[in-house]
Homo-oligomer: A and B are copies of this chain.
Amino acid sequence: MRRLFHHWLYPGARLARLVLGEKGLEAELRVVTPWLRDEAFLALNPAGEVPVLVEDSGAVIAGTQAVAEYLDEMHPDPPLLGADPVVRAEVRRLVAWFDTGFRREVTEPLVGQKLALRLMGNGTPDSRALRAGRANLGTHLSYIAWLTEANRWLAGNRLTLADLMAGAHLSLVDYAGDVPWEDHPAAKDWYMVLKSRPCFRTLLADSEPGLRPVKHYADLDF
Question: CB of A145 within 8 A of chain B?
Answer: no
A47 touches B88 (CB 8 A): no
Interface string of A129-150 (1 = CB under 8 A from B): 0000000000000010000000
A66 touches B92 (CB 8 A): yes
A63 touches B96 (CB 8 A): yes
CB distance from A147 to the nearest CB of B (A): 10
- Counting every copy of the chain, the complex holds 2
CB distance from A14 to the nearest CB of B (A): 17
The interface residues of chain A, by DSSP majority, are classed as helix
19 contacts across the A-B interface (CB closer than 8 A): A46-B143, A47-B93, A47-B96, A59-B89, A62-B93, A63-B89, A63-B97, A64-B96, A66-B89, A66-B92, A66-B96, A67-B89, A69-B89, A70-B85, A70-B86, A70-B88, A70-B89, A73-B88, A74-B85
A86 touches B59 (CB 8 A): yes
Chain B residue at minimal CB-CB distance from A90: B66
| A64, B66: Cα distance in complex, Å | 15
Closest 9 CB pairs of A and B: A66-B92, A66-B89, A70-B89, A61-B89, A73-B85, A63-B93, A63-B96, A59-B86, A66-B93
Chain B residue at minimal CB-CB distance from A73: B85
